[in-house]
């Protein structure tokens, strides 16, 4: 009996390392980066109604990397997950059209959504990880709306998993990943054992476009909708927005006719030693 | 014996030290990073005792350097070979142990790639919402931080039991590195666990030019340079002015220069006295990284380029002619 069990164990381990990497990718619905945002007159936030939204560009890069890992047979299954209102289902469908296998929407009402903090997103991700047992969580390095750059690291801390942030290149090995990370002044390579959290930087890859046939196919892929209470989590706020204001604006200065004038003006201001 | 001592210590820590601030020091192994001085200056504004945590291997020299920084009361040193690579997994554990012992009101670090990896991880361990890249401190729980690539400023109030803060270096004057006399002591003993992360290698781009985020003058190049060879002109220009070199995302993506020169929402944030944009159109994401510069100069052939809407001085000219002329003019009028 013992020998048989041992044999099974070896088979299982080999499978685990070589074949079965299941990836969870977090995606966020944000205002399109090309939109010039407007601050609400009552200073409670920015105008979001009737403004085009897209998948956060860094999340798009994370999805692309997961799909590439699957295409390279390093991953078997990709789940995309978003915490947000119904509107986030659009970007989940987009992610499935790009190659994700299934999606989970942890649904909150618009009011809660306004006040979500990265900590809440990390809690939702952690709950999904614990429920469905993933080997790797891929996220964007930051969302271009709140510019927080926190969720991946919060999640890694919560789960006591290793983290590789600002990934520029990912190389999957058996049971671990070599990740080249962008750091101030250059690049650093770390090896993280799975399970691990990785956040994608701008130059990790160029996301693909979803083709029409794939968009049609994505409509048939499973999208599970959950409430926070289904996961046993609550979103108490630790941060309160007192007010949101426009930054001080710079106005256009003068156009100088030539280099000589430009240099003399800068010199007058004492800008050169 | 243990009991009274513990009681005494508890009374002491909960009352006297409650509001103290921990600054997480960043260093290269040889010297303290300048952004740590910005973080200490920000911590000074909170008006409580400042301790600075120095982690690493053989960091005695760094600890001594840190103890001389103005405003530093105490330097806590975690010196361990396992901390040599400063991996966030290990550093975060040291911070958590120090916090459990001293119950800090705030834990602060300069917003760099180092602390961006660490501070939120500490948040995940302590179940605390961190506060990223603050630009202003109103009180010990109210701060201002930019969102939407700097197109909105949010004033926020944190109810977190400990404020985990990263500060935008460019928004705070550096604390003086003399005048302090902090006491140096050992960090609380913590077993540094095997976290499944291993340092493999590091590739630092070496440069004699002033560091981008602290340079007084920054010369920045964009897509207008058309090639890596042409981009050499930016370096030449920078050297003539003793300036740091920056770049737009377009220039980095096109391979004209390395990633770490990128200025903008997803790159470095700078606020030099003089920022000269050459061949940069001025996309929102780039402007986010430089709009707090004191004087902005734009040199571009396209007079409709959005960069001219924020530039103090604009010159509509071909960069390949204007830059050499600029260099000569600066030399001649010295």
Q: Give the model confidence (pLDDT) of B280-303 as tens digits.
A: 999 999 999 999 999 999 999 999
Residue A1: pLDDT band with limits 50, 70, 90: very low
Residue A251: pLDDT band with limits 50, 70, 90: confident
For residue B297, give the nearest of B256, B326, B332 by alpha carbon.
B326
Residue A58 lies in a domain: yes
Crossing angle for the helix pair A151-159 and B113-126, to the nearest 10 degrees: 50
Are B330 and A272 in contact by the 8 Å Cβ rule? The answer is yes
Element (H, E) at A97: helix A88-97
Residues 44-103 on B with a CB inside 8 Å of A are 87-89, 92
Residue A192 to residue B200: CA distance in whole angstroms: 10
Phi-psi region of B216 (alpha: psi -120 to 50; beta: other; left: phi over 0): alpha
Residue A16 lies in a domain: no
Residue A256 lies in a domain: no
> Can you give the pLDDT at residue A144?
96
> Can you give the pLDDT at residue B88?
97
Q: Do A242 and B142 touch (CB under 8 A)?
A: yes
Distance of CA A32 to CAs A21, A164, A190, A193, A225, Å?
32, 27, 33, 35, 24
Residue percentage of chain A with pLDDT more than 90: 88
Are A253 and B312 in contact by the 8 Å Cβ rule? The answer is yes
Helix (H, G, I), strand (E, B), or coil: what is residue B278? strand
Question: In CATH, what number is assigned to the domain containing residue A25?
Answer: 3.40.50.620
Distance of CA A174 to CAs A62, B197, B254, B297, Å?
20, 15, 33, 52
* Tokens coding B163: 């404020």
pLDDT in tens, A219-232: 999 999 999 999 99
Helix (H, G, I), strand (E, B), or coil: what is residue A43? coil
Chain A interface, best mutation among B91, B118, B121, B238, by max A CB count within 10 A: B121
Residue A176 lies in a domain: yes
Domains and CATH numbers, chain B: 20-186 (3.40.50.620), 217-333 (3.40.50.1220)
Q: Is the pLDDT of residue A6 over 60?
A: no
Q: What angle do CA A181, A186, A192 make, to 5 degrees?
A: 20
Residue A123 to residue A132: CA distance in whole angstroms: 14
Q: What's the longest Cα–Cα distance across chain B? A: 80
Chain B interface, best mutation among A152, A238, A241, by max B CB count within 10 A: A238
The stretch A209-215 carries a mean pLDDT of 97
How distant is the Cα of A124 from the closest Cα of chain B, in angstroms? 12
Residue A76 lies in a domain: yes
* Tokens coding B52: 């600075």
pLDDT in tens, B266-275: 899 999 999 9
pLDDT in tens, B202-219: 998 888 899 898 899 999
* Tokens coding B41: 């200056």
Q: Do B311 and A240 touch (CB under 8 A)?
A: no
* Tokens coding A178: 């070599």
So what's the ipTM on this one?
0.91
For residue B121, give the nearest of A219, A97, A165 by alpha carbon.
A165
Chain B interface, best mutation among A57, A126, A196, A253, by max B CB count within 10 A: A253
Instruction: Identify the residue whose tokens are 């929407």.
Output: A105
Residue A4 lies in a domain: no
Question: In chain B, what residues touch A237 (CB-CB under 8 Å)?
Answer: 159
The residue among A249 and A128 whose pLDDT is bigger is A128
Instruction: Identify the residue whose tokens are 């340092």.
Output: B199
Question: In chain A, what residues touch B148 (CB-CB under 8 Å)?
Answer: 31, 37, 46, 144-145, 147
For residue A156, give the nearest of A134, A189, A182, A173 by alpha carbon.
A134
Instruction: Identify the residue whose tokens are 């990718």.
Output: A25
pLDDT in tens, A14-65: 444 455 799 999 999 999 999 999 999 999 999 999 999 999 999 999 999 9
pLDDT in tens, A62-114: 999 999 999 999 999 999 999 999 999 999 999 999 999 999 999 999 999 99
Q: Do B314 and A148 touch (CB under 8 A)?
A: no
Strand locations in A39-124 (E): 53-55, 77-84, 102-107
Residue percentage of chain A with pLDDT more than 70: 93
Q: Is B330 at the interface with chain A, CB within 8 A?
A: yes
Phi-psi region of A220 (alpha: psi -120 to 50; beta: other; left: phi over 0): alpha
Residues 1-30 on A with a CB inside 8 Å of B are none
Q: B292: Cβ–Cβ under 8 A, 6 or more apart, which residues?
A: B170, B171, B269, B271
Nearest residue, CB atoms, A241 vs list B127, B154, B329: B154
A227 CB neighbour count, 10 Å cutoff: 11
**B249 annotated ligand-binding residue:** yes
Residue A142 lies in a domain: yes
For residue B133, give the nearest of B289, B296, B291 by alpha carbon.
B289
Residue A11 lies in a domain: no
Q: What average pLDDT does the structure give for chain A?
A: 93
Residue A256 to residue A241: CA distance in whole angstroms: 42
pLDDT in tens, B5-17: 444 444 444 444 4
* Tokens coding B154: 């949010």
Helix (H, G, I), strand (E, B), or coil: what is residue A159? helix
Q: Do A118 and B203 touch (CB under 8 A)?
A: no
Residue A192 to residue A200: CA distance in whole angstroms: 15
Is the CA virtual torsion A199, A246, A82, B92 positive or negative?
positive
Distance of CA A39 to CAs A45, A115, B147, Å?
6, 16, 11
Strand locations in chain A (E): 22-26, 29-31, 53-55, 77-84, 102-107, 136-140, 163-172, 176-183, 186-193, 196-200, 223-227, 239-245, 254-255
Are B238 and B274 in contact by the 8 Å Cβ rule? The answer is no
Q: Is the pLDDT of residue A245 over 80?
A: yes
What are the two backbone dihedrals, phi and then psi, of residue B194, each rounded to the nearest 5 degrees?
-80, 115
Domain assignment of residue A118, given as a range: 21-231
pTM: 0.91
Domain count, chain A: 1
């Amino acid at each position: 009996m013992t020998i048989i069990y041992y044999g099974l164990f070896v088979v299982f381990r080999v499978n685990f390392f070589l074949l079965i990497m299941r990836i969870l990718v977090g995606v966020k619905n944000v205002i399109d980066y090309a939109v010039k945002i407007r601050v609400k007159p009552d200073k409670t936030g920015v105008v979001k109604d009737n403004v085009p939204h897209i998948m956060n560009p860094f999340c798009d890069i994370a999805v692309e990397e997961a799909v590439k890992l699957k295409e390279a047979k390093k991953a078997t299954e990709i789940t995309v997950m978003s915490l947000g209102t119904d509107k986030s289902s659009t970007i989940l469908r987009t992610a499935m059209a790009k190659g994700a296998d299934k999606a989970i929407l942890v649904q909150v009402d618009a009011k809660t959504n306004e006040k979500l903090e990265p900590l809440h997103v990390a809690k939702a991700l952690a709950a999904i990880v614990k429920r469905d047992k993933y080997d790797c969580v891929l996220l964007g390095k930051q969302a271009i709306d709140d510019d927080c750059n926190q969720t991946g690291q919060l999640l890694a801390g919560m789960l006591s998993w290793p983290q590789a942030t600002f990934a520029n290149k990912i190389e999957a090995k058996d049971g671990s990943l070599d990740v080249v990370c962008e750091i101030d002044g250059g690049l650093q390579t770390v090896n993280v054992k799975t399970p691990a959290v990785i956040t994608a930087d701008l130059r990790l890859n160029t996301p693909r476009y979803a083709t029409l046939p794939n968009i049609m196919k994505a409509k048939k892929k499973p999208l599970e909708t959950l409430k926070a209470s289904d996961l046993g989590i609550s979103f108490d706020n630790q941060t309160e927005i007192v007010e949101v204001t426009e930054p001080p604006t710079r106005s256009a200065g003068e156009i100088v006719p030539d280099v000589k004038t430009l240099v003399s003006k800068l010199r007058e201001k004492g800008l050169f030693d | 014996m243990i009991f009274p001592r513990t009681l005494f210590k508890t009374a002491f820590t909960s009352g006297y030290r409650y509001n103290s601030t921990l600054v997480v020091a960043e260093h290269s192994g040889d010297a303290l990073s300048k952004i740590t001085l910005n973080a200490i200056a920000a911590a000074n504004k909170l008006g409580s005792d400042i301790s600075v945590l120095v982690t690493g291997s053989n960091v005695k020299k760094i600890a001594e350097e840190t103890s001389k920084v103005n405003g530093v009361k105490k330097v806590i040193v975690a010196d361990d070979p396992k901390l040599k690579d400063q991996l966030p997994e290990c550093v975060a554990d040291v911070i958590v142990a120090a916090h459990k012992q001293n119950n800090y009101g705030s834990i602060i670090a300069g917003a760099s790639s180092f602390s961006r990896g660490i501070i939120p991880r500490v948040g995940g361990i302590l179940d605390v919402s961190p506060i990223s890249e603050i630009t202003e401190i109103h009180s010990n729980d109210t701060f201002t931080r930019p969102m939407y690539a700097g197109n909105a400023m949010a004033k926020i109030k944190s109810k977190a039991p400990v404020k985990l803060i990263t500060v935008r270096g460019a928004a705070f004057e550096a604390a003086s590195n003399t005048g302090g006399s902090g006491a140096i002591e050992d960090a609380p003993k913590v077993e540094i666990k095997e976290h499944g992360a291993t340092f493999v290698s590091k590739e630092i781009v070496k440069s004699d030019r002033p560091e981008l985020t602290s340079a007084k003058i920054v010369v920045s190049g964009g897509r207008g340079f058309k090639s890596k060879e042409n981009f050499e002109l930016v370096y030449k220009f920078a050297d003539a002015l003793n300036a740091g070199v920056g770049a737009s995302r377009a220039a980095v993506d096109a391979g004209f220069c390395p990633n770490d020169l990128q200025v903008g929402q997803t790159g470095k944030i700078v606020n030099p006295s003089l920022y000269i944009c050459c061949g940069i159109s001025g996309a929102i994401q780039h402007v986010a990284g430089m709009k707090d510069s004191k004087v902005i100069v734009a040199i571009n052939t396209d007079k409709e380029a959005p960069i001219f809407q924020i530039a103090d001085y604009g010159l509509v000219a071909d960069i390949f002619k204007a830059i050499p002329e600029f260099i000569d003019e600066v030399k001649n009028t010295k």
